[in-house]
Structure formats: C-alpha cells, structure tokens
Amino acid sequence: GPKGVINDWRRFKQLETEQRQEQRREMERLIKKLSMTCRSHLDEEADQQKQKELQEKINGKMTLQEYNMIHNDEDDEEFLQRYRKQRMEEMRQQLYSGQQFKQVFEITSGEAFLDTVDKEHKSTLIMIHIYEDDIPGTESLNGCMICLAAEYPTVKFCRVKSSLIGASTRFTNNALPALLVYKAGELIGNFVRITDQLGEDFFAVDLEAFLQECGLLPEKDVLLLTSIHNPSACYSEDSDLEID
C-alpha cells in the first residue's frame, strides 16, 4: 500500500545518502594518497603486463627466451612509440563522437567534484586541476588548460580549489598544483606538484607534450581542432575561466 511505497522510498534515499557518504570518504582517501604517489595509467599497464608475463612464464606458457625478447622490445624506442600511438588512437576513437566542452569548468564544492567524476559519460576524459591562487605554477597551468580545452573539445577540463574539497594544509603546501585525470569514474593519471616535471613557468605545448608522452591525450583531429599555436584558440567566450 501507500505506506509501503513511502517506506521503500525512504529506504532508497537512505541508501543513496550512505553511498554518497562513502564516495566522499573515498575522495578524502584519494587526496591523502595523492600526496604520496604520482603514477600514470601507462605505468600501471606496464606493471600489469609484466606480472602477466611472469605468471605465464611460471605456468610454463612462455619460454625464458620469449620473456627476454619481450622485455628487450620494451627498451626499444620504436616499440614504445608504436604503443603510445596505438593508445592515443584508441582514445581518439572513443572520444571522437562524444560531447564537446571547449572550456574550463570551475568546480565549487566537494559534491560537485564527485558529480564531475561519477556522472559524466564513461567515454569522457576528465582533467581536474586542484589549485590555490598563491601556489607557484598555478597561473601557468590555468592558462594551459584554457588553451588545451579549445584544442581538445571532447576532453572535459576542470579546476577546483583544494580548500573546497577538504584538502589538508599539508597537501595544499606540498602537492599543488595537482592534475588528476579520470575516465569512467576511475583515476587513470595523477600528477602532484606538476611543477616538478614542467617547472613553474610553462606553456600549453609543454603540458600537451607531457600528457601525450603519458598516453593521456587523444591525437588532435585537424578537421575539428585548430592549431595550438593560434593565440585566438586559447580563449573561449563561454569559458568559466579567464586569464587576468
């Protein structure tokens, strides 16, 4: 009857709230983890592949010679370039028909952070800059993201202040500016204090090359995207973020 329906609805909302609380706790655990790690998706894939190959060797499915040949290939630059190109092509195919964003979105709360990660389409690549205004390198990363948002319209670029997602003072002082990369709700790349890799004064081409080396950007489609060297491409009138 009606009372049963109401009770079912209340239980549903309770479960929904509990799930949200667990997501928030997971975000807090992530923030702590980020201050101690900086691994890309390619690193994890390489580790998993090595574990698989080692297990196959143990199981007698692979000879020692075959195992050594594979890892000799891994040291070959041509092999690595082919692998990266294949990964970027796969990502390009997945993102080609997706929604276009073309701007940097400002995340205003921890709740909005979770929504951005969890509710976007599973094929959408999401890059989130965690920042505070007075941290060296923040202005450079902000400018780079505006440019890349125009160059990669199917990638969703966002930024959020660390204070809005419950980050500690220690995290803010030691890990920013941080760049997180998500897809299908999963963290596939995280770079704390990205200035360690790029310096405090860097440009969009520098960040682009860095992310491409990590296999975290699709190849640009010349029919859809303009050159990154065109200054007019670095600003969108609809963007939530402007360079002062």
pLDDT digit string (tens) for 13-25?
667 666 667 776 6
The pLDDT of residue 71 is above 90: no
Question: Residue 233 belongs to what domain range?
Answer: 25-244
Query: Which has the higher per-residue pLDDT, 243 or 28?
Result: 28
Average pLDDT for residues 153-180, to the nearest whole number? Answer: 91
**What mean pLDDT, rounded, does the chain reach?**
74
Using DSSP's 3-state secondary structure scheme, residue 90 falls into: helix
> What are 117-133's pLDDT values in tens digits?
998 888 899 999 999 99
In a domain, 12, yes or no: no
Whole-number Å distance between alpha carbons of 118 and 153: 20
In a domain, 7, yes or no: no
Instruction: Count how many domains the chain has.
Output: 1
In a domain, 15, yes or no: no
Question: What pLDDT, on a 0 to 100 scale, did the predictor assign at position 129?
Answer: 96
Amino acid at 52: K
Tell me the backbone φ, ψ of residue 91, rounded to 5 degrees. -65, -40
The pLDDT of residue 116 is above 80: yes
Res. 167 pLDDT band, cuts 50 70 90: confident
In a domain, 5, yes or no: no
Question: What pLDDT, on a 0 to 100 scale, did the predictor assign at position 179?
Answer: 95
In a domain, 14, yes or no: no
Res. 89 pLDDT band, cuts 50 70 90: low
Average pLDDT for residues 68-83, to the nearest whole number? Answer: 64
Beta bridge partners of 157: 104, 127
In a domain, 4, yes or no: no
Its pTM stands at 0.57
Question: What pLDDT, on a 0 to 100 scale, did the predictor assign at position 169?
Answer: 85
Amino acid at 43: D
> What are 29-65's pLDDT values in tens digits?
666 666 555 445 456 666 667 666 655 554 554 555 5
> What are 173-208's pLDDT values in tens digits?
889 999 999 999 899 998 999 999 999 999 999 999
Average pLDDT for residues 106-117, to the nearest whole number? Answer: 92
Look at the block and give the residue holding tokens 């009770």. Answer: 7
Here the CATH number for the domain that contains residue 230 is 3.40.30.10
